[in-house]
Structure 1
């Protein structure tokens, strides 16, 4: 039976009491390569032990980060921006993002037919934002409306069940670097579309995938200035130690060190600047107008 509003408030109060007693903010983070610089101090630096006294961090898929925030299982999450449209009372932590200024490589539509001829799309749904961006691409820019079919991120079987596949995160990055093998298995030359590049080419704006966000209730138990400083300092440290991250991640993902280096330094943009905020607003307007999200949210920031 769904929880009533009063039950939700009661459980929220219980969670916040626990947060106050423990004194640590529960963080839900993404277990992909792309947030690695944002998490540097939490994982690799001399600050790790001090941060562990203030934060309890665990890793999951982007969509699960949003789910855990919505259910009160986390206090702070690195969430797909589309989740802002469905989870009330979230505040964006300024400074950090996962975005791209052109081509991201880790959000790919792989298709047997040209983009405007796609009628069925097998979609990895691990990121709400990537699915919403794809729907905006088809509905607003191309004037089509293919059927989205949820599917595990296995490109060979995805293409057996649909015209095209939407791949997200590390599976997309790996696929983009091994497309000759994938095309051999598909027995044809495939079309490869970078979703971020499709967006930036058509709008002239960055493609923004994820931001740090927390609930107003959690903020009330948090030193906001310290939180902002911790997250932005971790990002800065990560960007200053890219080679350390390359050495760490080359053991975890099946792409070359050069691909990892280029991805972290050229494909991903980590600063939530004014152009990224403008891009988010434009995305929300188009996504709401096309039904990709239920409504365009008001963007509220931690101060």
Structure 2
């Protein structure tokens, strides 16, 4: 049976997809597409062997997961695809209502950390499907991630827009790793040789996809996305996972823990250690 590998349905996962296609790995796995929230649920049910996950999910149940080294979706000074869209300036959002995209947990937690830690703001939160118009009909601001966030960020209108990577970097000087790749411990132990082959294949595919980023941008722009904006967007992303990226993750986990947003700060266990 082919190993089952999760894949996030956002533009920022296209370099890995193209890398898997170029290296031939795509033909040797069963690719399962979904949002970060959907993929972590499938992983916990044992329906995937390997998957990207919203990084904060590692605080909520990483005891049976190994992190795959050298692979992530990380942004530093800005990202454009994790965005708070607001009717009013951010410092006027205390006791307001904010709609949160239900696609990912990391962005929700990051927003709560930023608002409480750096703005002393305590709004009411509701979770919704990521439809900006409907979100702003019932709220003062909306958190979007992925492709809907890019579209909203690029649109010229009267709304206030806050890039959460910029906010995080401005206050901490650290990047934010929004997604990490993990492998189930039970699978890694029972199918060790295949697991090693799969991990090496994913790492190689990510490197290949990153080196072929111009081709990936051409593919995406054929679907109507402005090429120059795509170049700017992908130029903001890193697809590796450095020691400093891990340090940034642990700072984020610790702040979330101190605010009661997660139950623990986990030890990050890497596959192969």
Which TM class, normalised by the smaller chain length? Answer: over 0.9
Q: 1:112 maps to which residue?
A: 87
> The residue matched to 1:271 in structure 2 has which SS?
coil
Q: Which runs of 4+ in 1 moved over 4 A?
A: none
Q: 1:26 maps to which residue?
A: 4
1:83-137 CA distance string (max 9 Å, x none) = 1111231110000110101100001101112212212101112011011101111
Matched, 1:202 2:171: yes
| C-alpha distance in 2 between matches for 1:204 and 1:142 | 17
Which of 35, 51, 54 matches 1:61?
35
| C-alpha distance in 2 between matches for 1:267 and 1:64 | 26
Unaligned runs of 5+ in 2: none
Which of 198, 209, 213 matches 1:238?
209
| C-alpha distance in 2 between matches for 1:227 and 1:26 | 10
Matched, 1:247 2:218: yes
In structure 2, do the counterparts of structure 1 residues 261 and 222 end up closer, same or farther at CA, with 3 Å as the change threshold? farther
CA contact (8 A) 1:174 1:255 kept: no
Residue 51 (structure 1) shift:
4.7
Which of 40, 45, 48 matches 1:74?
48
1:246-275 CA distance string (max 9 Å, x none) = 1211234x43011112212x2111110011
| C-alpha distance in 2 between matches for 1:201 and 1:218 | 40
Q: 2:160 maps to which residue?
A: 191
Q: 2:14 maps to which residue?
A: 36
**RMSD, aligned CA:** 1.5
Which of 248, 258, 265 matches 2:228?
258
TM-score (norm 1): 0.84
Q: 2:192 maps to which residue?
A: 222
Residue 38 (structure 1) shift:
2.1
Q: 1:127 maps to which residue?
A: 104
Q: 1:6 maps to which residue?
A: none
| C-alpha distance in 2 between matches for 1:289 and 1:94 | 27
Residue 217 (structure 1) shift:
0.2
In structure 2, do the counterparts of structure 1 residues 251 and 58 end up closer, same or farther at CA, with 3 Å as the change threshold? farther
Q: 2:58 maps to which residue?
A: 84
User: Higher Cα Rg: structure 1 or 2?
Assistant: 1
Residue 65 (structure 1) shift:
1.2
> The residue matched to 1:52 in structure 2 has which SS?
helix
Q: 2:249 maps to which residue?
A: 280
Matched, 1:145 2:122: yes
Which of 130, 138, 144 matches 1:167?
144
TM-score (norm 2): 0.93
| C-alpha distance in 2 between matches for 1:167 and 1:236 | 28
Instruction: Count how many residue pairs are aligned between Structure 1 and Structure 2.
Output: 267
Matched, 1:269 2:246: no
